[in-house]
């Protein structure tokens, strides 16, 4: 399912216009992005938690040249599925 299919589904199930459903989805995504940018967690009970995880600097190999390189430390977004979601996927 892609974003436009999600919007259509939300619009039909919630009896909303596509414009209203699009705004709702965009507000949700923007809110999650803003909170992650501020290093805050977003928890949706029964669904999961969006958070930021830190990765330490490490050594790697350039696959084109085979030379060793240093991969810098970084922060990455992370999603941990909630208990209910995990049980649905089994």
Q: Are 76 and 55 in contact (CB under 8 A)?
A: yes
Phi, psi of 63 (to 5 degrees): -65, -25
pTM for this model (two decimals)? 0.81
Residue-range domain boundaries for the chain: 3-89
Measured distance CA(1)–CA(72) in Å, rounded:
34
What does the pLDDT look like over 24-81, one tens digit per residue?
A: 999 999 999 999 999 999 999 999 999 999 999 999 999 999 999 999 999 999 999 9
The architecture of the domain spanning 3-89 is: Irregular (4.10)
């Amino acid at each position: 399912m892609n974003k436009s299919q999600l919007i259509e589904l939300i619009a039909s199930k919630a009896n909303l216009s596509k414009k209203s459903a699009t705004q709702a989805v965009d507000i949700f995504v923007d809110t999650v992005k803003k909170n992650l940018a501020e290093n805050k967690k977003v928890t949706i009970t029964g669904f999961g938690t969006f958070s930021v995880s830190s990765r330490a600097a490490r050594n790697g190999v350039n696959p084109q040249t085979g030379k060793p390189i240093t991969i810098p430390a970084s922060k990455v977004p992370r999603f941990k599925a909630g208990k209910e979601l995990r049980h649905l996927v089994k």
